Amino acid sequence: MHKRIYGIDIVKIVACMQVVWLHTSMRYFTGNYQLSFSIDREILRILYIMSGVAIPVFFMANGYFILNKKELTASYVWKKTCNILVVILGWLFMYSILNYLKDRDFLFFKYALGTVIPGIPNVSTFIHLWFFWTLIILLWFAIYINKILHRNIKLYTEISLLLFLICIVVNVLGYINGTPIDKHIYQPFRIYQWLMYYMLGGYVGYFKDRIYSYYRIHRNKFILVTLVIYVAFGVVVFFTQTIMGTLFIEYSYGNILCIVSSLLLYILFLCHNYKSITKNISKKIIPLTMGIYIVHPIIIKHIVYVVTIKNIYQVLAIYILILFISMCMTYIVRKIPVLNKLVEI
């Protein structure tokens, strides 16, 4: 039986909370629902940017486990793929049935398309499921990447560096051109980006003993450097985002400060020594994280659009409410036979 890695549990919980914040907060500093006071909008925007490390961290956490398996077989990958497809298609089908009963309009195929292509009217509720399509793609890459990691670490490093450079170049060109270069590439297919983070997670797992040792010796220095780079990421993106002509954090995942701060934060959470109470709480919450990720946009859709928000305190309150309802909904679904398959992989 494998020893539980509480650091990864906790970083995934934090990342899940950040994702909910990303999807809750953005509408209040841009678009039709933005707050009246500019200072509130700017505070929300920088908190939104700082939460942008969530998606990179999720990919690193997945890469850590998958790429460090001693043997990664096609049968294992196929089983995981089927489990993910059950989650994606199950939610789409269930929501389509409810939509049909309400409006006599069966939108399953449009909902499916809406998990990949943003902006499709009335079916964008599940656009966040792009993450699961990407996981499927990365799983099939992982069969070969896993072998490279364990047989030729030099080649693995070279591939990682190449992907890193591609991300940097794409990001810099976005600033030069005044528009994101990758805006025409739907998120599931930005493989150069997601594979880089995935492989970084694998790299951390491969060298975990050295990393743990370094962290124990240089703990305070490591924490300081991590926080400085993390804050620098938030400040730099805050002041330069408009140069690229977009406020969406997804176009900053290739920013060098985002990459470095995501990696350092991931290592920090991984290596930290947690108290027993923190470990016990994390064990109870971690089974809910995937369900929270899946259902929170549904909650947002039914709460945010009917509640008038006027200041940042109300945004924080509605965020906590959305998080709480998402947790409760996930907890209930996990207790129902068959339906529990929709909130776990």
Predicted local distance difference test score (pLDDT) of residue 2: 63
Q: What single-letter amino acid sits at 241?
A: Q
Taken as a whole, the chain contains a residue count of 345
State residue 34's pLDDT score. Answer: 79
CA atoms lying within 13 Å on the CB side of residue 332: 7
* Nearest one of 115, 82, 81 to 294, comparing CA atoms: 115
Ramachandran area for residue 178 (φ above 0: left; ψ -120 to 50: alpha; else beta): left
Contact 192, 163 (CB under 8 A): yes
CA atoms of 4 and 217, how far apart (whole Å):
23
pTM comes to: 0.94
Provide the residue-wise pLDDT of the chain in tens; the chain has 345 residues: 467 899 999 999 999 999 999 999 988 887 767 787 789 899 999 999 999 999 999 999 999 999 999 989 999 999 999 999 999 999 999 888 988 888 777 878 888 888 887 766 555 678 899 999 999 999 999 999 999 999 999 999 999 999 999 999 999 999 999 999 998 899 999 999 999 999 999 999 999 999 999 999 999 999 999 999 999 999 999 999 989 989 999 999 999 999 999 999 999 999 999 999 999 999 999 999 999 999 999 899 888 778 888 899 999 999 999 999 999 999 999 999 988 999 988
Q: How many Å from the N-terminal Cα to the C-terminal Cα in the chain?
A: 19
Retrieve residue 299's tokens: 């909650």
